[in-house]
Structure 1
Amino acid sequence: MLNRLRVERGLKQNDLIGPGLSASYLSRLESGERPATPHVVAHLSKRLGVQPTSFATHVPANSLLLLAKGTSALNSGTTAEAARLLSDAADSAELLTPEMSALLWPIQWQLVQVYDGLGEYQKNESILSRLLEHPSTKANPQLRIQVLVKLSETLRNLGKPAEAVAAVEEAWSARDSLDTVDLGDCLHIRIAAAAAHTEAGQHLTADMHSSWLLDHLDEAEPHLQARILWVSAGCKIRRGSAQEGLKLLVRAVGVLDSRVDPLLWARLRLAAVALHLRVNPKPAPELAHWLAEARSALTLVGEPRHLTELALMEARLAYAEDGLPRAARLLEDALAQGKLLSHRDRTQAEILRLRVSARLGDTAEAVRELRALASRLEQDGHFDLAGDAWRTTSEIALPPEPAQD
């Protein structure tokens, strides 16, 4: 249609280009390979002397086609291509009339899954906030709960624990408007609540949710059993019950078949390595085995975010095994992709980098950077991470005295 309107008016492509609209972009618009954004529609309608609604006739078909292509790209593992196609689909769907705007919801939800694998947490926060205002979400409490639970997870990854708690508490309130509460929905909310309150240092509330989850463990599907054990392990370890938490996580590693959810199966092994090293810095024999299993699975199904998490965990194990040069290289690789990591993982990687740097001889600079990092974490309200940074500073600045004969 765009090509027809341009030709009818005797215009060349160069006559239509403008801010945000290059000749190559215009060619793709005319061929149907790319949708027009609302800004471009406003520009073209003015140049061509037509109403913006003139461009809406083909939007639903374009949006559906891009959604289908984006989903296929995601399923085939080409995540960056999936992000581009789904972003185009969302731009196209923005032009839909209010009556047809429901199509925007599945497009944006699929885009959230893509950005999650790419570590694009800020983009997800923006999309999820818009989804909360979507008419479909407002009209359906179950959709609202789903969005709020995902938003809480995203906010935790961004290092915003108080906001993560607020989101999951809103989800908890939304369930009161449901006629019946599905057990699966309740488990998802409780898992998100336990994680958010743990991250915020609200351990009594986190324990309440964790205890309820463990009481209903046998009623859950295997993949939810694994998540319940994982989040409960984190709750216990963060409040000081390290051995108890580690037992739960080892149990989580064994409860899930790799064929059920290979990505979760692999990430559980990364979590088990991390928590085991937190409890006992001396590496146990099974840690290398768990990492090898995780590596084989993530090579096949992992997104960029998960591969960066793998590199960080391999660095932690290398450090525990006194392989300092290898640990330094792996940490450099992980931190080069630091935006893919959650705030907690990125901070812990930075603390470990400074620990390695000190052991390789640059103690004074490592101590200076650790003190600055700990102060920033305290100012931002991340007190447990600040505690990790201060403890590391003390261990580096005041190494243990040699044993007396």
Structure 2
Amino acid sequence: MTEESSFGARLKALRLQRGLSQAALAGDEISTGYLSRLESGARQPTDRVITYLAKRLEVDRSAFDALPGGSSLAQGLGIATSSDTDEAVEDLIAVLATAQDEDPLLRWQALWLIARYWQRRGERTEEQACLEELAEVADELELPALQCRSRTQLARCLRSTGQVARALELAVQAYHEAQEAGLSTSDTGTALLALVSVEAEAGRLPDARAHAQELVELVAGRTDTLRVEALWSAATVSSRYGDDESAHAYLTQAMQALDSRVDPVLWARLRLAAASLYLQSRPALTEPARKCLTEAETALALVGTPVQQQELLVLQAHLAFEEGRYEDARAAHDRLDLDTLVLTYRDRIRLQTLDSLLMIVEGHQAQGLAQLKELGEEARRTSYLDLAAEIWRVLAETLENTGRSKSAAG
């Protein structure tokens, strides 16, 4: 790819990253036809146009530069792998957009890196599109390990966006591929992690519990993050079963097994998970939840992603509600920009559930109850049966408390 055509590829990649149409990027200064020819490489930009487009895209002019020493997929992949920076992955995205007749194994490796980039940024739509292609390339290569990894990651992505039925299908397939091909403990364990989480979301708790136990036994004796995540997964399933004692025991093991210096991000995420489980206990265990959130907040100030910062704020809002600090809960809720949320589907629904409960406390009872009913029905329609059951329980408790209040007033 020439330096001239590289400009067009970078321009198109930057535009798509920001979700802009050609018309939106062109604005009033240039035509969409001219912009299209720039992206295809048929026209070369003037300095004035480069400056204009950089301003529209909110990037420096250097963002359009070609990769040093050429821009083949192999070169772009090598640079992205060795530098481990977002800028290198963004260059790789531009190269991949124009790569043709490349080695499919190189393409798979590039897509794997790019999918992780989108995941870190919380860009679920882009991540899913990348993972869909990743799975297709893995099938073309007919390599069981790559097929298993691709479907595992795609299942995780679909679960986080509320597509639990298809996520379950892919997770089962990935797990069977791992078993049939005799893949490593790492691949099999990662596939099981995805399967357990999806089964739990789908309300298939007996299956989830059995697979969680299988997973914990599979990684017994290991000292890596896979064992930590296995214990975390088992804790989540135990909590869904209402077995808070086992859930807390698993989480305690997980937190004790991980040094913050080994993986500070996972260390902080474990604290968020523990706080969430403490707050979902009945009654809510607010003291240990507050301790976990304080520890997580300190760590995430240094290493947190936008996704984790939002998760922290959501849990702080839940904690304030459980402690009866309703104004603080509403303030934390309102600090979240609902149009730019990068939370998982479950966390989004739970945030809306909190909003409903706050409405009721604030005197908007009919509106809050109606929203709770809508959320329960939505969770049921999307096959998130466990989440739906949680919302219906909250609704029943709210109605019961409301009835008691009316009786006392009468």
1:255 aligns with 2:257: yes
- Correspondence for 1:90: 96
- Correspondence for 1:129: 132
1:218 aligns with 2:220: yes
Contact 1:59 1:92 (8 Å CA) reproduced: no
- Correspondence for 1:159: 162
Between stretches 15-24 and 107-116, larger displacement belongs to 15-24
Between stretches 60-69 and 285-294, larger displacement belongs to 60-69
After superposition, the Cα gap between the structure-2 partners of 1:289 and 1:82, relative to the gap in structure 1 and judged at 3 Å, is farther
Aligned mates of 1:155, 1:3 — CA distance in 2: 38
- Correspondence for 1:298: 300
After superposition, the Cα gap between the structure-2 partners of 1:145 and 1:167, relative to the gap in structure 1 and judged at 3 Å, is same
Aligned mates of 1:352, 1:386 — CA distance in 2: 14
Aligned mates of 1:161, 1:23 — CA distance in 2: 37
Contact 1:283 1:321 (8 Å CA) reproduced: no
* 1:178-221 C-alpha deviation (Å, 9 max, x unpaired): 3x432222221222221121111112221221111222343323
* CA-CA distance at 1:253 after TM superposition: 1.9
- Correspondence for 1:50: none
- Correspondence for 1:44: none
* 1:65-91 C-alpha deviation (Å, 9 max, x unpaired): 55566568854xxx5x56643431321
TM-score after normalising by structure 2: 0.78
Per the alignment, in what secondary structure is the counterpart of residue 61 of structure 1?
coil
After superposition, the Cα gap between the structure-2 partners of 1:216 and 1:65, relative to the gap in structure 1 and judged at 3 Å, is closer
Contact 1:377 1:383 (8 Å CA) reproduced: yes
- Correspondence for 2:310: 308
TM-score after normalising by structure 1: 0.79
Count of matched residue pairs: 361
* CA-CA distance at 1:154 after TM superposition: 0.7
- Of 360, 363, 368, 2:362 maps to 360
After superposition, the Cα gap between the structure-2 partners of 1:29 and 1:278, relative to the gap in structure 1 and judged at 3 Å, is farther
- Correspondence for 1:61: 71
* CA-CA distance at 1:379 after TM superposition: 2.5
- Of 128, 144, 147, 2:147 maps to 144
* CA-CA distance at 1:62 after TM superposition: 4.5
Question: Superposed, which structure 2 residues align to 1:110-125 within 5 Å?
Answer: 110-125=113-128
After superposition, the Cα gap between the structure-2 partners of 1:345 and 1:15, relative to the gap in structure 1 and judged at 3 Å, is closer
* CA-CA distance at 1:384 after TM superposition: 2.3
Per the alignment, in what secondary structure is the counterpart of residue 257 of structure 1?
coil
- Correspondence for 1:105: 108
Aligned mates of 2:208, 2:91 — CA distance in 1: 39
Cα RMSD after superposing both structures: 3.3
* CA-CA distance at 1:105 after TM superposition: 1.9
Identity %: 25
The runs of 5 or more residues in structure 2 that have no matched partner are 6-29, 51-67
* CA-CA distance at 1:333 after TM superposition: 2.8
- Correspondence for 2:289: 287
Contact 1:137 1:143 (8 Å CA) reproduced: no
> What one-letter code is carried by the residue in structure 2 that aligns with 1:190?
L
The runs of 5 or more residues in structure 1 that have no matched partner are 5-13, 34-57
Contact 1:132 1:138 (8 Å CA) reproduced: no
After superposition, the Cα gap between the structure-2 partners of 1:337 and 1:65, relative to the gap in structure 1 and judged at 3 Å, is farther
* 1:136-193 C-alpha deviation (Å, 9 max, x unpaired): 7633211111111111111110112221121121112222553x43222222122222
Aligned mates of 1:88, 1:190 — CA distance in 2: 34
Per the alignment, in what secondary structure is the counterpart of residue 399 of structure 1?
helix
Contact 1:374 1:387 (8 Å CA) reproduced: yes
* CA-CA distance at 1:272 after TM superposition: 0.2
- Correspondence for 1:55: none
After superposition, the Cα gap between the structure-2 partners of 1:291 and 1:71, relative to the gap in structure 1 and judged at 3 Å, is farther
Contact 1:128 1:147 (8 Å CA) reproduced: yes
